[in-house]
A and B are shown apart, each in its own frame.
Chain A
Amino acid sequence: MIGGSVIQDLRYTLRQLRKSPGFALTAIVTLALGIGANTAIFTLVKGILLRSLPVADPALLYRIGDTDNCCVNGGFVERNGDFDIFSYDLYLHLKKSAPEFEQLAAVQAGIWRYSVRRGEARGRELRGEWVSGNYFSTLGLGASMGRTMGESDDSENAAPVVVLSYRAWQNEFGADPSVVGSTISIQAHPFTVIGVAPAGFFGDRVTDTPADFWMPLSTEPYVREGQTAILHHPDSNWLYPIGRVRQGTNIAALQGKLTAALRQWLFTREAYTQHGGTAIISKQYVAIVPAGGGIQNLQQETGTGLKMLMILSSVVLLIACANIANLMLARSTARRSEIAVRMAMGAGRNRIIRQTLTESILLSCMGGLAGLGVAYAGSRTILALAFPDAPNLPVSASPSLMVLGFAFAVSLVTGILFGLAPAWFSLQAQPAEVLRGMNRSTRDSSGISQKALVVLQAMFSMVLLACAILMTRSLGNLENQNFGIVTSNRYVMHIDPAGAGYTPDRAPALYREIESRFSALPGVSHVALALYSPLEGDNWGECAMPQGHPVPRADENCNSTWDRVSTQFLQSIGVPMVRGRDFSDQDSATSQPVAIVNEAFVKRFYSQEDPIGKHFGIDDPKYSSAFEIVGVFRDFKMNNPREAVRPVYLRPLSQRFNRFAPPFISGEVQSMIVSSILIDFGSRQQNVDELLRRTLASVDPNLAVVDVHPFDRQVNDNFIQDRLLARLTTLFGVLALILASVGLYGVMSYFVVRRTNEIGIRMALGATRSGVMGIVLRGVAFQLALGLIIGIPVSLFAGHMLASQLYGISSYDPLAFAGATLVLALCGTAAGLLPARRAASIEPMQALRTE
């Protein structure tokens, strides 16, 4: 029976909407924008933050360690004692100590690029990950073709094998079934492809650079030959353990047990006990966190921004709700007599509420349906803007069942939310009005509700506008800061010499050839090679130990960023020397190893002395005389542009410090293979990409080009997420402003229509047109002022919550708040002017005839 009456209500509502297409369209578009924005953000939240790995029973997966500390570290990991990246030895120790894990696998912290070649085909840059042999069995996965690796594949004497991802098999190997069983070369080392992972499996983490293949840990020394391998260096931390716990395991107890096991192991290692480290070991602990969603790198990177966007889009939806509620309130007033008739016929309160809510929920569901289109387009655009050049990101913009459910739930809640005020107002109708007549009824209280809703909209708009201005100014500060480098007319080319078979011994000849060929290009001013270029996201760090200085305590921050570069590096990025000299040809393989340092390095380590001629080393006091400082260069941003400049030292590409013992020699040797070429053209050039690729091919056609791009784009890419956040916040702010202005316009227009008769009387009694305009504008000013009075403290609170996202600007920035106030006041006044002018143009005689 209820179903029948619901259908009647629906039919009636549809008929009503057909009769008012303007209202229906406005409401649906407004709701589509509000619900669509929320669903778009939720699509990303679901795809990134709430996503489970496509593996068996992900709820039982736990990771030892909770934060990202990619990629290879030595010593204590975090200052607060949180130990979350482990060496192979330590992983084995933890595995042995925790039988509560049915299986415990180890995965490489970073997913690196390798040159992969099949047969005589050209090498391709694919991403690979070293994992323990029990990786697939821990995740409960079989192969879609061939087999996955097992424990036996992960042993010293086993033949090197590799498992391809389904996506890589399809995209890179043309879905050729014969690839299974065949041999491919990875960094010029043969591997047998034993199988293809299941379709849809993207690895152990949601990332924009998912693995294309997985290799057993035991092959790490095979690929990174000799001194550069770290598998058997107990103090090189580069693995994340992830495992499947037995049902009913007490995680807190397990965490305590593994913390004890960690400390016990650390006490056995000199690297951790020396220089006062023993006292710090007791502060070390491991966190055991659910890993059903995989390693949470991307989640930790984007989580705050996504949560912020979720809140901001909810505010936009609230403003949309207030707008529709206002429209519906106006309609409710017009339909008050109908409601009184229905009540007289015996309709109970529930039935009246149900009918009002039927209309609001039907509207919101229609808005939600249209919103799905907005959401799809929105999430696609956001993904494309947030993760450019990431075609393999395993996050889809297509709405999943959960997203559809979310959109439906939001539509339902939205419908109820904006239907509540009109429903409440409907209940104010009295059945006796049907006899007494509407004109003799109680005072119309909808006006107050409508004004309250406008105040609410103004308040929320103020919050969004203030946030938008804060974020935009912060982005401006980030982008326009002094990075200390010159980027114009400069290009960065990334290459992979190791993938083409170059070893540290063969590399110098290659570098000379590259410098020679690129320098000969017309217009080129400088060419430099570097292990990595500034602001590309890479960072090599070591503990710097100046000779003659006390040995840093184990908990003291002695970190310095370092890079290995060729002689023209500083010129190619426009950084001047401030003291001493730059590298030159006199810094050869056989001369005194030298280094040049930045001003921050001097400030940190030589604040009271002249650094020129001084010696320093890294990681161990016995190397403190390793490098002589020959020059100081001006500070520039090498790593995170949000942070202050770190201490940086540069070493010449021509020198290798061979006195390092393992494990330090590993990094030393590895750093001889550089990946960046910096080319300074001095002036604007055409078709640079093709020219540079052709030039490199002329050096060695087997050298794969990873990418080529302008240097300024590389710098700008650091702000992709900041830019996106600022743009979306601005978009939400503008949307809120438009909705609030439309809302204010609607309420004031309704006010004028309702009070036409009163205005006529006032004019008949002598009121001037400007006086009438004043009545309307005073109403506008009152609502705006109230919205601002409430909105400013709320905005200050919102700014405070945003503080972690801001750069170079206070969360209480007076300019942002003054700007938001001014914009809102201007738009509000503009929205009120039209109804005010209409009121002023009313003819008294005509108005007096109006009922």
Chain B
Amino acid sequence: MNDKLIDIEDLTKVFYTDEVETHALSGIHLTISRGEYVAMSGPSGCGKSTLLSILGLLDTPTGGKYLLNNKPVENLSFSERSRIRNQEIGFIFQSFNLIGDLTVEENVELPLTYRAGMPSAERKKRVKEALERVNMAHRMRHYPAQLSGGQQQRVAVARALAGSPSILLADEPTGNLDSKNGEAVMHLLADLHREGSTICMVTHDPRFAKHAEREVHLFDGKVVSEQELQKLTAEVEA
């Protein structure tokens, strides 16, 4: 059996705004295997978040192939993409993106409510387990505004875990945290990886990228080696 969870070939993404054509991604080839922990890094505007949004089916590529769980997903309808996002993918965002009017419990339950047919008792059980996993079960009834940034991000991790996704996609998960809380979140992700989770994390901080098993470097919408990245960066700075 093929162990590739994500397999993309020659992926491109072009943004069209008025008369300007912006090539955000050009000919990306990337595979991520089950259980792998991959970090994507690169300077601002290199296309990290665009790639992550395509990986997470938040956006569609302009060209190329994308297999998720060996199934092509590049041309799915909006509702099919919604269903796959809900069942296969867990998101952790830089700005947490918890909904302020929902309690911690409701926030974590949110993706499960979009899953047709899941009984309420099952949802509650999963929410409890996810919150216990990130040590936030004691704050179930709190609202996001009543939590610190680190706690909010842990809740966001619990929300991503609750649906038992195939992969966790994290976009600068430490970007809005101080170093102490940032480290704590990175340890949490490392723990999850050890327990078998597949993780793909976008970061521009080399310290956090080191937590991953593999680093993918992007520059101007292309995947480059570490050496190439250093060279290109030096050229730009020069």
Contacts and interface: CB of A to CB of B under 8 A. Distances in A.
A12 interface: yes
- A interface secondary structure, majority: helix
Contacts of B118: 1
Give chain B's interface residue range (CB within 8 Å of chain A): 20 to 34
A802 to B, nearest CB: 48
Interface stretch (B30-38, B76-84, B177-185): B76-84
A5 B59 CA distance: 26
A822 interface: no
A717 interface: no
Interface stretch (B85-93, B125-133, B203-211, B219-227): B85-93
B59 A346 contact: no
B120 A4 contact: yes
A435 B117 CA distance: 29
A436 B83 contact: no
A15 interface: yes
B16 to A, nearest CB: 11
Interface in B56-113: 56, 58-59, 78-79, 82-83, 85-87, 91, 93, 97, 99, 101-102, 106, 110-111, 113
Contacts of A341: 93, 97, 99
A155 interface: no
Contacts of A430: 58-59
A263 interface: no
Q: Identify the interface centre among B56, B58, B163: most chain A CB within 10 Å of its CB.
A: B58
Contacts of A347: 82, 86, 114
Contact of B114 (A4, A337, A351): A351
A641 interface: no
A348 B101 contact: no
A158 B140 CA distance: 88
B58 A12 contact: no
Nearest to A9: B113
A231 to B, nearest CB: 76
Q: Identify the interface centre among A12, A344, A348, A431: most chain B CB within 10 Å of its CB.
A: A344
B53 A345 contact: no
A342 to B, nearest CB: 7
A584 interface: no
Q: Identify the interface centre among B50, B82, B120: most chain A CB within 10 Å of its CB.
A: B82
A346 B114 contact: yes
Nearest to A15: B101
A435 B115 CA distance: 22
A770 B111 CA distance: 51
Nearest to B84: A346
Contacts of B86: 345-347
A434 interface: yes
A431 B58 contact: yes
B171 interface: yes
B114 A348 contact: yes
B85 A12 contact: no
Contact of B78 (A5, A16, A349): A349
Interface in A1-29: 1, 4-5, 8, 12, 15-16, 19
B197 interface: no
Contact of B58 (A19, A350, A432): A432
B116 interface: yes
B58 A434 contact: yes
A346 B115 contact: yes
Given A346-B111, A348-B114, A435-B58, A337 B97 contact: yes
A765 B56 CA distance: 43
A82 interface: no
A355 to B, nearest CB: 11
B85 A346 contact: yes
B174 interface: no
A345 B111 contact: yes
A338 interface: yes
A5 B112 CA distance: 10
B49 interface: yes
Contacts of A351: 114
Nearest to A4: B120
A554 interface: no
Contact of A1 (B97, B110, B116): B116
Nearest to B111: A345
B199 interface: no
A345 B78 contact: no
Interface residues of A, number: 27
Given A341-B99, A432-B58, A434-B93, A8 B113 contact: yes
B91 A344 contact: yes
A435 B49 contact: yes
A16 to B, nearest CB: 6
B52 interface: yes
Contact of B53 (A12, A19, A348, A436): A436
Contacts of A1: 116-119
Contact of B101 (A12, A344, A346, A432): A12
Nearest to B54: A432
A824 interface: no
A16 B106 CA distance: 14
A343 interface: yes
Nearest to B93: A434
A767 B81 CA distance: 48
Nearest to A343: B82
Nearest to B165: A346
Contact of A435 (B78, B93, B99, B106): B93
Nearest to B49: A435
A435 B96 CA distance: 11
A337 B101 CA distance: 13
Contacts of A16: 101
Contacts of B83: 346, 348
A338 B120 CA distance: 23
Contacts of A436: 49-50, 53
B97 A348 contact: no
B171 A348 contact: no
A434 B111 contact: no
B7 to A, nearest CB: 21
Interface string B169-202: 0010000000000000000000000000000000
Interface in B22-60: 49-50, 52-53, 56, 58-59
Interface string A650-676: 000000000000000000000000000
A347 B78 CA distance: 10
A349 B79 contact: yes
Given A338-B99, A346-B85, A5 B56 contact: no
B82 A346 contact: yes
Contacts of A5: 113
Q: Identify the interface centre among B49, B87, B114, B118: most chain A CB within 10 Å of its CB.
A: B114
Contacts of B93: 341, 434-435
Nearest to B95: A437
B200 to A, nearest CB: 13
A783 B154 CA distance: 48
A6 to B, nearest CB: 11
B82 A435 contact: no
B113 A344 contact: no
Interface in A242-290: none
A271 B163 CA distance: 93
Interface in A143-160: none
Contact of B102 (A12, A344, A349): A12
Contacts of A342: 99, 110, 114
A16 B59 CA distance: 29
Given A19-B101, A344-B58, 9 more contacts: A5-B113, A343-B58, A344-B85, A347-B86, A348-B82, A432-B59, A434-B91, A435-B56, A435-B171
22 contacts: A1-B118, A1-B119, A16-B101, A19-B101, A337-B97, A341-B93, A341-B97, A343-B82, A344-B85, A345-B159, A346-B83, A346-B85, A347-B82, A347-B86, A348-B79, A349-B78, A349-B82, A351-B114, A430-B58, A431-B59, A432-B58, A435-B53
Closest 9 CB pairs of A and B: A346-B86, A432-B59, A345-B111, A432-B58, A431-B58, A432-B53, A348-B82, A346-B114, A341-B97
